[in-house]
Structure 1
Amino acid sequence: MSNTAEYTDISINRSNMFSFLARLYKVEADESLIKSIIELPEMEEGTAEFIEGIKAMKSCLTGSRTDIVTELAVDYACVFLGAGKAETELSAYPYQSVYTSPKKLLMQDARDKVLAVYRKFGLDRSERYNEPEDHIFFELEFMSELCKRLYESEIKKEHAESLSLLKAQKAFITEHLLKWVPAFCRDVEKIAATGFYKGAAKVTSAYLHMDLAVTEELISDCTAGR
C-alpha cells in the first residue's frame, strides 16, 4: 500500500465497516438494516470467523420466519438489556465498564477514559442516544470517525496527520476495544437465541483483530515514508 488512492479507499471502507458494526448494537434491527445485510455480496476476504459470522447473519435473515424483526427485537432485549432474566443469569451488557471493572458496574473508570479520548478529538456523546460513553456503539462510531478523518487527511496529503490518526486508532483498538469486546462477543454467542446476533458477535470480534493488523501495516508504511 503506497499511494493516496489506496489509503483513501481503505480508510472509507474501514469507516463504513465500523459504522455498520456500531449500528448492530445501537438499537434493534429494523427492515432497513435487515435488507442491507441480505444484500451483502458473498464474502471471500477476511478470517474464517469473519466469513462464518456474515454467513450466520444472512442465513438467519433469509429463512422462512414470518416476523424476523420482532424475533430479533426480543433477542436484542434479552442479550443486551437483560430483559426477562434473573440477576444471576448471564447477559452481555454492551459497556466497557461492565467488562473491565471489578464489580462489573456502569460508569466506571473505563467510561471516564474513553470520554477523555473523545474530547481530545473534539467529540462528545450525542444527546439523542442516552447511553454511557463506553457503550460499544459509541466506541465503534468513534473508530468510524477517526477513519473518516484519515480519509480527509489523505485527500489533503497531510501525511503527518495521517500517521497521528493511525496511531490514535491503534491505541484505541488496543487500549479500549480489544480490552473487552472479545469477551463481550463470547458472551453474546453463548446467550443469543438467533444466528443473527451470534453471527454479529463473530463478525465484530474478528473484524477488530483484522483491522488492527491493517492499521499496523498502514503505520509501518507511513513511518517508512511510503
Structure 2
Amino acid sequence: MKEDQTATGERREMYHFLADLFLRPPTAALLALIKEEGAAALFQGDDEASSTWRLEINTFREELKAMADPVAEMEGEYTALFVLPSGILPHEAVYRDEQKRLGGRVTMAVAQFYKDAVMEMSEECIEMPDHLGMELEFMARLCGLEKLFCEEDDQISLQVCRALQQDFMNRHLGCWASQCCEAVINEAGYGFYRAVAQITMAFLVAEEEYLGREQKTGKENLVWESAIA
C-alpha cells in the first residue's frame, strides 16, 4: 500500500508539472535552472525514451545562453505556439471536432466529465476545459484523490477513482494528446517545447499501460473479496 501511495504521488506531481508547462510560459527560475544544469533541471531518467528529450533540453541550454532576455523570448514562443490562432491551439476540439469549434460539442463533453466527477477546476485559469493543460491538471487532481483513498484504505473509492482516470484517458486525453504533441515538436522554435512534448507523449503511453494494469488488478481484487465475504 505504501508503494501505491508513493507511485500515485509521483504521478500526481508529474501530471501537475506537465499541466503547468502547457498552461503558462516557463518561469525565470526554471530557465535559470536549465541554463545551469541542463536536462537534470527537469528530472532524472536514463531509459531509452528519455534520450531524445535530453538532447533537446541540452540543445535548449545552449540556445538559452544566446538569449538576451530568456523570459521574454520564451513568453513569445509560448504565445506563438499556444495562444495565437496561427499556432498549435492545444485544445481537444481542434483535434476531434471536424469543424474545430472551440467551446462546441467536444469542449462541453470534457466540461461535463469534470462535472460528473464532481471536480471543480480553478477559476483563476482562463483556459477552456479541453485545453491540454487543463486535462493534465484534471488527471493530477484524480491522482491526488487516489492517493488519499490509498492512505485511508478505501478500496471501493480507490477503484472508482482509478476507473475515472482510465475512462478519461480512453474518452478524452489519450485520444488526441499525442497528435497535439507531435504538432508541437514540428512547430516549436526552441528545444524546450520539443522536449516537453516528447516527455508528455512518453508519460501518457506509460500511463495508459499503468491504468490498464491497475484496473484489471482492481477487478480481480473485488472478485476475490466478494468470494471470501
Same fold? TM cut 0.5 = yes
Which structure 2 residues correspond to residues 143-222 of structure 1 after superposition, within 5 A? 143-222=139-218
SS in structure 1 at match of 2:8: helix
Q: 2:119 and 2:94 mapped to 1: Cα distance?
A: 23
**Structure 2 equivalent of residue 65 of structure 1:** 66
Change (3 A) 1:191 1:116: same
Question: Are the counterparts in 2 of residues 11 and 147 from structure 1 also a CA contact under 8 Å?
Answer: yes
Residue 13 of structure 1 pairs with residue 21 of structure 2: no
Higher relative contact order (CA closer than 8 Å, sequence separation 6+): 1
Q: 1:25 and 1:153 mapped to 2: Cα distance?
A: 28
Question: Are the counterparts in 2 of residues 92 and 184 from structure 1 also a CA contact under 8 Å?
Answer: yes
User: Which structure's residues are more often helix, by fraction?
Assistant: 2
Q: Bigger radius of gyration, 1 or 2? A: 2
Residue 32 of structure 1 pairs with residue 29 of structure 2: yes
Stretch moving more, 197-206 or 15-24: 197-206
Residue 23 of structure 1 pairs with residue 20 of structure 2: yes
Q: 2:26 and 2:204 mapped to 1: Cα distance?
A: 21
Change (3 A) 1:23 1:58: farther
Question: Are the counterparts in 2 of residues 95 and 134 from structure 1 also a CA contact under 8 Å?
Answer: yes
One-letter amino acid of the counterpart of residue 209, structure 2: A
Question: Given the two structures, how large is their TM-score scaled by the length of structure 2?
Answer: 0.86
One-letter amino acid of the counterpart of residue 66, structure 2: R
Question: Are the counterparts in 2 of residues 115 and 124 from structure 1 also a CA contact under 8 Å?
Answer: no
Question: Are the counterparts in 2 of residues 58 and 196 from structure 1 also a CA contact under 8 Å?
Answer: no
One-letter amino acid of the counterpart of residue 83, structure 2: L
Number of residue pairs the alignment of both structures matches: 215
Question: Are the counterparts in 2 of residues 54 and 203 from structure 1 also a CA contact under 8 Å?
Answer: no
CA shift digits 1:34-74 (9 cap, x unpaired): 356642343124x62x4422442354136523432222211
Question: Are the counterparts in 1 of residues 12 and 139 from structure 2 also a CA contact under 8 Å?
Answer: yes
**Structure 2 equivalent of residue 88 of structure 1:** none
**Structure 2 equivalent of residue 102 of structure 1:** 98
Change (3 A) 1:107 1:68: same
Q: 1:57 and 1:166 mapped to 2: Cα distance?
A: 33
Question: Are the counterparts in 2 of residues 192 and 198 from structure 1 also a CA contact under 8 Å?
Answer: yes
SS in structure 1 at match of 2:194: helix
Q: 1:200 and 1:10 mapped to 2: Cα distance?
A: 21
Q: 1:186 and 1:14 mapped to 2: Cα distance?
A: 22
**Structure 1 equivalent of residue 56 of structure 2:** 56
Change (3 A) 1:74 1:102: same
SS in structure 1 at match of 2:192: helix
Unaligned runs of 5+ in 1: 86-90
Cα RMSD of the aligned pairs, angstroms, is 2.0
Question: Are the counterparts in 2 of residues 107 and 132 from structure 1 also a CA contact under 8 Å?
Answer: yes
One-letter amino acid of the counterpart of residue 193, structure 1: G
One-letter amino acid of the counterpart of residue 201, structure 1: A
Question: Are the counterparts in 2 of residues 51 and 203 from structure 1 also a CA contact under 8 Å?
Answer: no
Question: Are the counterparts in 1 of residues 146 and 162 from structure 2 also a CA contact under 8 Å?
Answer: yes
Q: 1:217 and 1:51 mapped to 2: Cα distance?
A: 26
Q: 1:110 and 1:35 mapped to 2: Cα distance?
A: 38
CA shift digits 1:158-184 (9 cap, x unpaired): 112111111111111121012111111
Q: 1:42 and 1:117 mapped to 2: Cα distance?
A: 34
Unaligned runs of 5+ in 2: 225-229
Q: 2:33 and 2:20 mapped to 1: Cα distance?
A: 12
One-letter amino acid of the counterpart of residue 180, structure 2: F
